Amino acid sequence: MYVLSDATAETAERVLRAGLAQFQHVATEVRIFSLLHSDEIEGVLREAAQVSALIIYTFVHPEQRALLETQARAYQLETVDLIGSLMGRLSDFLGAMPTGTPGLPKLNQAYFDRIEAVEFAVKHDDGQAVQGLHLADIVLVGLSRTSKTPLSTYMAQKGLKVANVPVVLGLPLPREIEQIDQARVVGLTINVGALIRIRRARLKALNMPVDTDYARRDHIMRELSYARDIFAAHPTWPVIDVSEKAIEETAAIVLRHREERLRAQQAVIEGG
């Protein structure tokens, strides 16, 4: 599912997450595209068409909504407009036309921090730009399909700089991860059944065969064992099992660990 917005996409994401909470037994993937301009819409839809994604969007300008719907039809994509019909009913009820102003937050420091955090998450996704790991507030480490990217994006919307690094069977982690504050690193794990289900769903969405090492039980069990060995070698890292957890639930656990770390560091400073 692709969430598109001309603002922060928080409203659309919250509505979607609330709906998905009723379908926790189904493997899903959500990608967020915020602050989109008209000339960026087609590129996102072209990418979405490759996986037959459902498009959920909030655009306040009717021209942008019309453009998106036209291009979505061309790519044979299904769409859900979360705000257009509401604004139409409000306009009728209030007897006034909407201003067409996106629901952007005030341009204060928190807003710019959030934008910077989103850009950071994109730049440092899936092991990219590891030389910048020391700038991250949180570094997520885990196998493919353990929610690293959606977690990074979700927490970036809260203004946190989050990087994520994949665990790949037989490959060492980048040395840069050993050189940063280890209290910022969080491991992500998952049970074998959930990971098989998620990976197979991913392969089916891409119209690829599911009988590959990527989704085969014996291979996944070796991957999970390798990840456990890495986590055991880093005992200070909290490890969160993301099996059957919503992104918000996992993020809350990550943020709780972060708050505990910050309080502990503050106590040391005050004690010194």
- Give per-residue pLDDT as tens, 25-64: 788 889 999 888 899 999 999 999 999 999 999 888 888 8
3-state secondary structure of 57: strand
**Torsions phi, psi of 127, nearest 5?**
80, 10
**Identical topology for domains 2-94 and 109-271:** yes
| pLDDT surpasses 70 at 122 | yes
> What does the pLDDT read at residue 98?
67
Three-state DSSP class for residue 44: helix
Q: Check residue 234 and give its pLDDT.
A: 98
Distance separating alpha carbons of residues 188 and 199, to the nearest angstrom = 16
Give the pLDDT confidence of 172-193 residue by residue, as tens digits.
999 999 999 999 999 999 999 9
**98 in Cβ contact with 60 (< 8 Å):** yes
23 in helix, strand or coil?
A: helix
Give, for 139, the enclosing helix (H) or strand (E).
strand 138-142
Task: Specify the pLDDT at position 124.
Answer: 95
pLDDT at 103 over 60: no
Helix axes 148-156, 247-271, angle to 10 degrees: 60
Residue 2: beta bridge partners?
31, 55
CA 192 from centre of chain: 21
Query: Cα–Cα distance between 119 and 49 in angstroms, integer?
Result: 24
Which residue ranges make up each domain of the chain?
2-94, 109-271
- The pair phi, psi for residue 44, each rounded to 5°, is -65, -45
| Cβ neighbourhood burial of 6 (10 Å; 0-12, 13-18, 19+) | buried
pLDDT of residue 101: 59
Q: Both tokens of residue 241?
A: 């099992």
In sequence order, what are the beta bridge partners of 187?
A: 141, 239
Q: Of 3, 23, 7, 5, which is closest to residue 246 (Cα–Cα)? A: 23
Domain 109-271 annotated CATH 3.40.50: yes
Classify residue 70 by burial, with Cβ atoms within 10 Å: 0-12, 13-18, 19+: exposed
Q: Which two tokens stand for residue 220?
A: 């996944």
Fold for 2-94, please state it.
Rossmann fold (3.40.50)
Give the pLDDT of residue 161. Answer: 95
pLDDT tens track for 224-234: 999 999 999 99
First to last CA, the chain: 50
10 Å CB burial of residue 16 (0-12, 13-18, 19+) is buried
